[in-house]
């Protein structure tokens, strides 16, 4: 078995790796690090959670150990699609470069330009950035990229999904043609292939697993759910999610819950808090300070469930996540692979459960086609929720009485006050009394219009 000591890494880097508790590299690290140290361009294709970050961070530190940074001219550049992923790369750099004098700067949104300008002015060896913020600094005349010797593009397929490809192409053209490029992606869409052909020079292709494969450490499950009524879908899905979590019992140490829409993230967080769960939310509309605070709480264990949009689906390195719940079936099949890749990391066992409504069946089929895996169906109920909810039809009066048990968070995210009979208007009270005294009209059941009840009394 290959060990880190076999990879010609700089002695200070090896010491930092040992302090972090690692001895053997992952497959992509074992193959990518030697090629990177030899100055080769690399095209790395590997599923999430395989150690891609260290596969470029470690050789980067070793290569840059000799030399000195100049003001506004970083020696290397690492591009990441999201603030969280960029911050994670910066954390990895701090861990592995702690025995060196190398400097870094992190350029992400949510942080003042002034603080970032000060770091750049001093000169940095490693510049870690999201594409938009990097271009902002360049256009302000605060940054020069003609001194970049090594450029890293991480999670390239996520860049494509987020519309960053034009920015990436522009940044490539701002860096020297002689640069070394390390390019990593979990999947290879045609647009990604085009970019690698245009901007990489005879890259060494390293493909650890088939595209869109799922780690064998992840146990998958699919819960088919049919709501009693279309307008109750979101509320009943929340109820089902709570049942699933409770059914997992002590097996569910913590979990990430993914929603497709940012507004649903906020609604679900409020609902779960109301029902006594320890939760936090993360999505693109939140301030960076809040996002980092929530992530830190989840990592430390003070937050048990992290409710997230796809901003958290890729790149976040939280090793010990026991469960991933797909509250919504992802719209893009590839996102399923990245979402569930948050669990079952570093050899640990993980579980993932997806809730699917009839409207989402096509998306489930697309996921199974992409991964070439039939997701096992799991039944958490002795009776489907649709049957439970529709076995009995209620009169308006009965429905009003039962309203005190409902979740007070609507699908639109606004709270509504529970209705009580004593608060009804005179008109509604008369309606209820008329309905109570009316004979049942054949064909209409209990749902008798008020104007008919007047003519059908005993």
So what's the pLDDT on residue 394?
41
pLDDT in tens, 204-252: 999 986 556 788 889 999 999 999 998 999 999 999 999 999 999 889 9
- 342 DSSP 8-state letter: T
Q: How far apart are the first and last CA of the chain?
A: 89
Q: Which residue ranges of the chain lie beneath pLDDT 50?
A: 382-422, 435-436, 438-448, 450-458
Q: Where are the domains of the chain?
A: 4-207, 218-388, 393-453
CATH superfamily of 218-388: P-loop containing nucleotide triphosphate hydrolases (3.40.50.300)
List Cβ neighbours of 401 (8 Å cut-off, separation of 6 or more).
421
So what's the pLDDT on residue 384?
40
The CA distance from 199 to 60, in Å, is 19
Phi, psi of 354, deg, nearest 5: -120, 135
CA torsion sign for 220, 223, 224, 226 is negative
Which among 219, 220, 234, 221 has a CA at the least distance from the CA of 385?
A: 234
So what's the pLDDT on residue 402?
42
Average pLDDT, the chain: 83
List Cβ neighbours of 219 (8 Å cut-off, separation of 6 or more).
349, 350, 351, 352
Residue 280: strand, helix, or coil? strand
Are 105 and 116 within 8 A, CB to CB? yes
pLDDT in tens, 261-299: 989 999 999 999 999 999 999 887 787 788 888 988 998
CATH superfamily of 4-207: P-loop containing nucleotide triphosphate hydrolases (3.40.50.300)
List Cβ neighbours of 177 (8 Å cut-off, separation of 6 or more).
none
Q: Is the pTM of this model over 0.85?
A: no
Residue 136: strand, helix, or coil? helix
């Amino acid at each position: 078995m290959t060990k880190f000591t076999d990879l010609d890494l700089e002695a200070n880097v090896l010491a930092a790796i040992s302090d972090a508790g690692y001895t053997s590299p992952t497959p992509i690290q074992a193959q990518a690090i030697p090629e990177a140290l030899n100055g080769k361009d690399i095209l790395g294709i590997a599923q999430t959670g395989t150690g891609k970050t260290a596969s470029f961070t470690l050789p980067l530190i070793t290569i840059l150990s000799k030399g000195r940074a100049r003001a506004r001219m970083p020696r290397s550049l690492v591009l990441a699609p999201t603030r969280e992923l960029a911050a994670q790369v910066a954390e990895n750099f701090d861990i592995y470069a702690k025995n060196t004098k190398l400097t870094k700067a992190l350029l992400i949104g949510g942080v003042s330009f002034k603080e970032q300008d000060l770091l750049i002015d001093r000169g940095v060896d490693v510049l870690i950035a999201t594409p938009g913020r990097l271009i902002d600094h360049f256009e302000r005349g605060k940054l020069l990229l003609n001194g970049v010797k090594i450029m890293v593009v991480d999670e390239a397929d996520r860049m494509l999904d987020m519309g960053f490809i034009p920015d990436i192409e522009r940044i490539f053209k701002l860096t020297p043609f002689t640069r070394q490029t390390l390019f990593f992606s979990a999947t290879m869409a045609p647009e990604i292939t085009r970019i690698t052909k245009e901007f990489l020079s005879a890259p060494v292709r390293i493909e650890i697993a088939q595209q869109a494969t799922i780690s064998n450490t992840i146990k998958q499950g699919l819960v088919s759910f049919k709501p009693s009524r279309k307008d109750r879908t979101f509320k009943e899905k929340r109820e089902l999610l709570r049942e699933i979590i409770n059914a997992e019992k002590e097996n569910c140490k913590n979990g990430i819950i993914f929603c497709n829409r940012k507004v649903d993230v906020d609604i679900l967080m409020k609902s779960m808090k109301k029902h006594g769960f320890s939760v936090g939310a993360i999505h693109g509309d939140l301030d960076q300070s809040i996002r980092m605070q929530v992530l830190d709480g989840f990592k430390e264990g003070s937050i048990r469930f992290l409710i997230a949009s796809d901003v958290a689906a890729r790149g976040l390195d939280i090793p010990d996540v026991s469960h991933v719940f797909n509250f919504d079936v992802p719209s893009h099949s590839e996102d399923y692979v990245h979402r569930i890749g948050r669990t079952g990391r570093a050899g640990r066992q993980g579980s993932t459960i997806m809730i699917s409504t009839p409207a989402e069946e096509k998306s489930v089929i697309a996921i199974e086609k992409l991964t070439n895996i039939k997701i096992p169906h799991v039944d958490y109920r002795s009776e489907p929720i649709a049957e439970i909810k529709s076995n009995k039809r209620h009169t308006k009066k009965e429905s009003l009485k039962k309203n005190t048990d409902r979740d007070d968070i609507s699908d639109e995210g606004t709270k509504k006050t529970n209705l009580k009979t004593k608060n009804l208007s005179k008109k509604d009270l008369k309606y209820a009394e008329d309905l109570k005294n009316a004979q049942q009209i054949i064909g209409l059941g209990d749902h008798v219009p008020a104007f008919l009840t007047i003519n059908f009394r005993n």
